[in-house]
Structure 1
Amino acid sequence: FSFDEILTDLVPENLRTEPQGNSRITQRHQCRRLAHFLLWQLLKTAGKSTALLGQIYRTQSGRPQFPVENIDFNISHSGDWVAVLLHINESEKSAVGIDIEFSKKRSFSALMAHFAPQAEQEWFAKQPDKELAFYRCWCLREAVLKSQGVGIVKLSSVTHLPEPQQIYSDYCPKGALLFTDELPFYFAAFINQSKIQPHFYHWNGKKLVEKNIKKSLIYQVNE
């Protein structure tokens, strides 16, 4: 991706030079550069000023955001994959959160026991695809918490009701959440509005190309 096409004034200092360190540090740096690049592309696609890139600041919780209330974004990366969510709400304050997880070997049952209540663990135990069920429980929690810059230490505070597809949390506003396993990674996105009609794009090396997602779950949050 042609990161150098972005005007220098729109790039934060920490993304302008390559870091010194091991491969993991280099990978994380490259993911941050790609996220900034994708956000630049999405702003252009949405017809919004790319000058917003140079105005990003961090809240007290460390969450990056724009200095305008009706446009919000959130970023997630896992492995070599990066996803960026941009939301524009012309009538009220926007709040979004996103989480992606590239599958890796984990003790799913042990992790579920760490943050999920007994009823949800029993639901999980009955699911034929344990990996899918786990990442569904995990990603949706992260997405709603990230909308307010809250970390995973509060995972257990999110109530997940998988059958009626409802989520409750004191750490996010009312809204809706989308979850899908149709991408190369598990994906969850929260938006503080009752209906979600997202446009998905992927970067093909030259431009953003719209992608059709056919299979997804829609949750109501704090409804």
Structure 2
Amino acid sequence: MTTLIAWGNIHTPFPFHDIRADLIPANLLTLSHGNPRMQQRWQCRRLAHFLLWQLLKMAEKPTALLGQISRTESGRPQFPSSELDFNISHSGDWVAVILHSGQNGEKSAVGIDIESPSKVRPYLALLEHFASTEEIHWFQQQTNPTSAFYRIWCLREAVLKSQGVGIAKLSEVTHQPETLQIISAHCPRGQLLFTDELPFYLAFFVNQESSTLPQCFVWSDHALVSQQMPNGVCYEVNSSKK
């Protein structure tokens, strides 16, 4: 059982065309026009594809899987084997990819979310749309409201993305920050970690019960450079499920 996470910035050069041509989707080859925002998102998608290619090699999995990605009914990308799962997130100029390989027929399910805030948002007003009264009370007691908000937001996104569920279901994730528990009918049992010690806020979910930390890497100096997993808050997800 292996979990790998890689992140990078689109302004750090990466040799995208080292990927075999038949493993690159047509929409990632060229972008003939587009405003700066579209250009940024296109570059993020290219970097995500590149990082996934790198992680497949590191996990000793066939890179040909890049050409076998399909989508679920909800539009979530997936590999043909249920033992191998991946998820992607990007925010601003940053991209993160998680890859999890199960064992003995175990079905893998992972979700990842990153947020790189560029401006102050009306955090309390946003929370009132999906957070519980108890959760909002906890938020109001925190000394770092920005980190607290993105903790509440990212953990929801990560567990929902593991099943391809959209943010319309944010209110259907119960977050208990005092006991570090997350409950949702939209994901299996597992663990989630949130950290605010990177250039972006990060939360990732893995449907495993062990506390084994993932191997982390950052794309830098023309290679994936190993990183120590940043300190963070670890949650049990659906711990009452059998």
TM-score w.r.t. structure 2 length? 0.90
Write the distance in 1 (CA, Å) between the matches of 2:58 and 2:132.
42
Residue 129 of structure 1: how far off its partner (Å): 0.7
Write the distance in 1 (CA, Å) between the matches of 2:60 and 2:43.
26
Write the distance in 2 (CA, Å) between the matches of 1:8 and 1:89.
28
Amino acid of the residue matched to residue 215 of structure 2?
Answer: H
Matched position secondary structure for 2:126: helix
Alignment correspondent of 2:103: 90
The answer to whether residue 127 in structure 2 is matched with residue 118 in structure 1 is no
The answer to whether residue 196 in structure 2 is matched with residue 211 in structure 1 is no
The answer to whether residue 237 in structure 2 is matched with residue 221 in structure 1 is yes
Describe how 1:1-223 pairs up with structure 2 within 5 A: 1-91=14-104, 92-104=106-118, 105-195=120-210, 196-223=212-239
* CA offset digits 1:167-195 (Å, max 9, x no partner): 00010000000111111000000000112
Amino acid of the residue matched to residue 216 of structure 1?
Answer: G
Matched position secondary structure for 2:108: coil
Paired residues, what number?
223
Contact 1:202 1:209 in 2 (8 A): yes
> How well do the aligned residues superpose, as a CA RMSD in angstroms?
0.9
Higher relative contact order (CA 8 A, sep 6+): 2
Write the distance in 2 (CA, Å) between the matches of 1:90 and 1:199.
17
Residue 21 of structure 1: how far off its partner (Å): 1.2
Matched position secondary structure for 1:114: coil
* CA offset digits 1:149-182 (Å, max 9, x no partner): 0011100110000011000001000000011111
TM-score w.r.t. structure 1 length? 0.98
In structure 1, runs of 5+ residues without a counterpart are none
| Runs of 4+ displaced beyond 3 Å | none
Write the distance in 1 (CA, Å) between the matches of 2:90 and 2:218.
14
